[in-house]
Amino acid sequence: MQALVLACGHCGVPAALARMRINPDALVAWDPSLCKDVQRFLPSPLPPDVSVIVLMARDPDRQAMVAQELLRAGVHPLRMRYLDAWRLSADPTVLRTHVRAALARFRSERSLDIARTRATNAFRGLVPRRFLLFPAARFRAPLPRVEPARCRADHGCDLCVRACPERAIARGVPPTIEPAACTSCGVCLAACPTGAVDHPSLSMQGLAEEARALADRQHLNLLVACTATLIDPRLEQLHLASGAWRLLEVPSLGSLRANDVLQLRAAGFDRVLGLGIGRCCPGAPGAFAFVAAFFEALGRPGVVGHWDLDDGPPPPEWSQPLPSPVPLRADSLHALAVALGAASFIPLPGPGAGVVTLSPERCTVCGLCAERCPPGALSMTEPEPGTVRLTFDHASCDGCGLCADVCPEDALTVRFGVDVRALGRPTVLKEDAWVLCASCGNRVAPRAMIDRVAARLKVSTGLDLCPDCKAVRLAGRMHATP
């Protein structure tokens, strides 16, 4: 047995789920009152790497008590998963699909047993009432880590530091995450353009695997909800057509990038709807609003959206079939624009894709923008000896804006959006000649930079020397001075 499914009839989970074949390595334990005595249904001893999926208990306090019993029985904290799909649908076939999808995600999450965790007294984001008088760190939650080999902090990138809503990330090479301040919201993962910030149980890889397993037939919609929304009692008042929807839990809506949302849709869904409550999620609605605006600009509204549970159930049209098909395999904003035949610039309300434009008269080809660019959309090349070229690859740009921040001449502008005319090959932003050292012949700087320095210093001599030769000449002058 590699997986244990605990389902309670008293909580509303149908008994038919226990009679269904989930997976060959999964055991389903269903009982009319399982939530009152979980320990009685736990095999002894439990396999050390068993994954447990729980379908019971509407009350978060009761969920926390069940979680404590599982932890005491030896279940790894990252191998425990609460599914809330039973609160939206009593269809056992739909529930089986959700259980299978959760198991598929567990199988894709490698090295969970050695992944970093942090101590916390909250379970699923809430501190149980019974723990308020006697606070203690009874649970473990995922703690992201920064992979130094992929981190660009040494080149000035600090996007994860800026994005963290709890200020739990300190600048450094690489940045460090303070466990006591972290809430495992996953916003730092979405902020990092190189994938350096990661955690197995928070990664997009696991979410995509679960989404693919949820898409078990055609013309389904995906409801993506944060944990804070799923534990809200109003979830059961959505009245969604159970056969048309699948449910996917994320730590926060802000933990997804625009291309992540498209990747979830590309798993096999007609519509994707992000569900939140007010400002419950850091960065919400985030990527869902950006992608929704993108689809609307392309004349395809209602494909991706965001809905606030405070506004009641989503409109019925969200459960209706799309009036015209939208390509499923477009898993990036750029690919989507091409697939839908966009002919001009499509704006976005925030980062997700960007177009960099350059003011040639301001640019000195210093290369700071290319050095700072995390995804490598800007690059410095030497097409031929003595020439330096700054190029921009639109397909790689996510609009983070670090290049514009670092430019000392304010020569760069970043527009959020996709321009299909700029796709296909890198765009040459500026080309210049190297100024060579008048003494040794080594490179000094691009001509535009030399001219800019000469104009500001109001001098024209000595700028065609490399640092080494300049030091030799200065030493000679000092030696010659009586």
Determine the Cα–Cα distance for residues 298 and 292; give it in Å rounded to an integer: 10
- Give the residue from 313, 330, 152 showing the smallest Cα distance to 161: 152
Determine the Cα–Cα distance for residues 286 and 297; give it in Å rounded to an integer: 17
Structure-token match 């309300």, residue found: 349
DSSP 247-316: EEEES-GGG--HHHHHHHHHTTEEEEEEEE-TT-STTTTTHHHHHHHHHHHTT-TTSEEEEEGGG-SPPG
Q: Residue 315 contacts by C-beta under 8 Å, 6 or more apart in sequence? A: none
| Greatest pairwise CA separation for the chain in angstroms | 102
Threshold 0.85, pTM exceeds:
yes
- For domain 354-433, the question of CATH label 3.30.70.3270 is answered with yes
Domain ranges of the chain: 1-143, 203-342, 354-433, 436-480
Structure-token match 């009641």, residue found: 312
How does pLDDT run along the chain (482 residues), one tens digit per residue? 689 999 999 999 999 998 898 988 899 999 999 988 898 999 888 888 899 999 998 888 899 999 999 999 999 999 999 999 999 998 999 999 999 999 999 999 877 878 999 999 899 988 888 777 766 668 999 999 999 999 999 999 999 999 999 999 999 999 999 999 999 999 999 999 999 999 999 999 999 999 999 999 999 999 999 998 999 999 988 888 878 999 999 999 999 999 999 999 999 999 999 999 987 777 778 899 999 999 999 999 999 999 999 999 999 889 888 888 888 777 789 989 998 888 889 999 888 999 999 999 999 999 999 999 999 999 999 999 899 999 999 999 999 999 999 999 999 999 999 999 999 889 999 999 999 998 898 989 999 999 999 999 888 777 888 888 888 877 766 555 55
Determine the Cα–Cα distance for residues 285 and 21; give it in Å rounded to an integer: 37
**290: amino acid identity, one letter:** F
Q: Residue 273 contacts by C-beta under 8 Å, 6 or more apart in sequence? A: 221, 222, 223, 224, 288, 304, 305, 306, 307, 314, 318
**Environment class of 89 (CB within 10 Å of its CB; exposed 0-12, middle 13-18, buried 19+):** buried
Whether the CB-CB separation of 26 and 52 falls below 8 Å is answered with: no
Determine the Cα–Cα distance for residues 191 and 160; give it in Å rounded to an integer: 5
